[in-house]
Amino acid sequence: MSQGSSLWSDAWRRLLANKAAVAGGIILLLLIFLAIFAPWIAPHSYAYQNLELGAQPPSRDFLLGTDTLGRDLFSRILYGARVSLLVGFVATGVALVIGVSWGIIAGYFGGRVDSVMMRIVDVLYGLPFIIFIILLMVIFGRNIWLLFAAIGAVEWLTMARIVRGQVLTIKNQEYVLAAQAMGVTNMQMFRKHIFPNILGPIAVYATLTIPQVMLLEAFLSFLGLGIQPPMSSWGTLIRYGVESMEEYSWLLIYPGLTFTITLFALNFFGDGLRDALDPKISSD
């Protein structure tokens, strides 16, 4: 696709013109960098407890202070970023795989297949998924991989709808009909014609799904039903912060601030990407 990519270079130009999106993108890159290199950047161990240094306010030694067990908060936020971002990307990936395949199959084959598949999506839409995720975590244990799968299994519905709509429009275009007339197989059709054309909306929606997934993970971790110690995500840090906020408010404020800024960055970047790639897609 490297040559005929005027659509992509156009989109890139529009994205760069959007200041909020650029700022969001820079913050995200910075966060990803910090998360990947956390073991080298973190000034202290995230797990090392030293009760004598318990609950120190921010200082030169401990940039953001220490928690009640004497662990460096800055290091813990860095390591938390790894877990939170990992959940965001992996669970969105799961949602992507299910949603895109579901949407392509429904849209491409149409007819009865389509109506049955989309009716299933309609019914699933009305169900209380938060409760089901909690149920799964209770029954099968609080396992991080199960958490990824469960969240991903919930977030694919909108993706399926968007992809199906796109496939329906593309399917009826002349070049697809021409390819069909030339005897192109279904597999080739997906790879060569359909998939490249729905990449834009998929990228946009995936970016907007990541913050939702991270929120869901933080919500579960806040309730104590998500990530389990000694691992910690931003959700668990906020949970501990709330427990001791009366005396040590920094334990709540810094993890909370980090989390909110990240959500902001993701939302702005996603919105910008949407406007750049396809101004037609609505905001839901």
Residue 269 in tokens: 């970047």
**Residue 148 or 240 having the CB closest to another protein:** 240
- Smallest gap, in angstroms, from Cβ of residue 58 to another protein? 17
CB of residue 130 to another protein, shortest distance in Å:
4
Q: Please state the closest distance from residue 120 (CB atom) to another protein, in A.
A: 11
Closest contact distance (angstroms) between CB of 168 and another protein is 18
| Helices 73-109, 144-171: inter-axial angle, 10-degree rounding | 40
If DSSP codes are grouped into helix, strand and coil, which group holds residue 72?
strand
What is d(CA 124, CA 126) in angstroms, rounded to the nearest whole number? 5
Q: Are 189 and 179 in contact (CB under 8 A)?
A: yes
Contact residues for another protein, defined by CB under 8 A: 123, 126-132, 134-140, 211, 215, 218-219, 222-225, 235, 238-239, 241-242, 245-246, 249, 252, 256, 259-260, 263-264, 267, 283
Give the rounded distance of the alpha carbon of 31 from its chain centre.
14
C-alpha to C-alpha distance for 147 and 160, rounded to whole angstroms: 21
Residue 8 CA to residue 271 CA, distance in Å, equals: 16
CB of 114 to another protein, least distance (A): 18
Q: Three-state secondary structure along 49-65?
A: CCHHHCCCCCCCCCCCC
Least distance to another protein, CB of residue 54, Å: 20
- Looking at the Cβ atoms of 44 and 239, the one nearer to another protein is 239
- Between 30 and 242, name the residue whose CB sits nearer to another protein: 242
Strand, coil or helix: 132: helix
Grouping H, G, I as helix, E, B as strand and the rest as coil, residue 66 is strand
* Residue found by looking up tokens 């909110």 in the block: 260
Nearest residue (CB) to another protein, 45 versus 244: 244
Q: Which is nearer to another protein, 139 or 182 (CB)?
A: 139
DSSP structural state of residue 224:
T
In this structure, are residues 201 and 84 in contact, taking their beta carbons and an 8 Å threshold? no
Q: Which is nearer to another protein, 7 or 120 (CB)?
A: 120
Nearer to another protein, 1 or 139 (CB): 139
Residue 233: closest CA among 214, 246, 251: 214
Q: How far is the CB of 152 from another protein (least distance, A)?
A: 18
